[in-house]
Amino acid sequence: MKNMILNQIRSILIKDFLIEYSYKGRFIYSILFIFIQLAVFYFLSGFLETSYTKNNESPISNLYGFFILGICFLDISYTLISYVSIKIEEYKKIGIFEELFILPVHPIRLILMSNIYPVIFSLFKLIIYLLCGLLFFGLEVDESINLLILVFTISFGLVTLVSISLIASSLSILYYSGVYISTIHNTISLLFGGVLYPVSYMYKDLFFLELFIPLHSILDLARYALGLYEMNNQDLIINIFLVIIHSVIFALIGFISIKIAFKKAFREGRISFY
């Protein structure tokens, strides 16, 4: 059984990789786009640096690093949340979705396995962002990187984002409209999640929103771990707590929604192709 699961994971990974690799232009552009973003924010942060450094109370120690991590995690969020739901919509249209469910694999496990490629691709993107930033754009990170916090944040962050992708997948299975979840998630995160500016610069009345935006705590902790953002112990503990809570809550919602979606889809024939 264990061998069979490993075999299935490997098959899905190879299949996803071969499909992505067949779109060479798209793959190259996605890497090139990282360079473009790094360059744009390099100049933008240089332009804005003066006004930020004037404020001694600013928790940002490196504006470029702050931006880069923000756009990197936003990019990763989009990939993770939308990848499987886009595939589901595509596979439903050509009829292959039905064929996947007559294979000896539980439907939910199949969806979870399909998330492995986007997780690996996202980690690859994260490394590219950081490496390019360090090598070509003079990104400075603190020498004493808190690896433990970084690994913790990335791990729980991945759980949260994959769980949101399960919600998106549920909507794709039922209504062909799961991709909107990633758009909504990224828009809210961009506005209130501290992606490009700290939440403390936001309208004070909307401050409570950060509690509901998983990317906010993930970003705060990742920036702290890389020495790009200062945080006192109390804020650190609150953020760690929020990252755990978000991952648990979203995992529960994601799991329940995909279970309901499959039940409804099998009953109403939405898996099938006619």
Partner 1 sequence: MIHAKNISKSFGSKKLFSDLDINLKKGNFLIIHGRNGVGKSTLLKTLIGVISSDSGTQDYLSNQSRNLSLGYVSTNASSFFNRLSVMENLTFFLQMRGFDKEQSIKKIRDTFKQLQIDSSMMDQKYMFLSSGERKKVSLIRCFAHEPYVIVMDEPLSGLDKQFKKLFLIYLSNICKKNNNILILVSHNVDFYEGLYTHELEMDDCSNSEIIIRNQLR
- Judged by the rule CB under 8 A, the positions of this chain that interact with partner 1 are 3-4, 7-8, 10-12, 14-15, 18-19, 22-23, 94-96, 98-99, 101-106, 266-269, 271-274
Q: Compute and round to an integer the Cα radius of gyration of the chain.
A: 20
Is the Cβ of residue 69 or residue 265 nearer to partner 1 in the bound state? 265
Q: What's the DSSP call for residue 226?
A: T
176: alpha, beta or left? (left if phi > 0; alpha if psi -120 to 50): left
Closest CB to partner 1 among residues 92, 216: 92
Q: How far is the CB of 46 from partner 1 (least distance, A)?
A: 42
Angle between helices 116-136 and 24-54 (to 10 degrees): 50
Give whichever of 8 and 58 is closer to partner 1, judged by the CB atom. 8
Give min distance, CB of 2 to partner 1, in A: 11
Smallest gap from Cβ 20 to partner 1, in A, equals: 9
Phi-psi region of 145 (alpha: psi -120 to 50; beta: other; left: phi over 0): beta
Q: Closer CB to partner 1, residue 98 or residue 235? A: 98
3-state SS class at 196: coil
> Which residue, 9 or 236, is less far from partner 1 as judged by CB?
9
Backbone φ and ψ for 176, nearest 5 degrees, come out as 60, 30
Closest to partner 1 by CB, 212 or 273 = 273
Count the alpha carbons within 13 Å of 196 in the hemisphere toward its beta carbon: 13
What does the block give as tokens for 134? 């360090």
- Its sign, for the CA torsion 64, 68, 71, 74, is negative
**Token digits of residue 58:** 């600013």
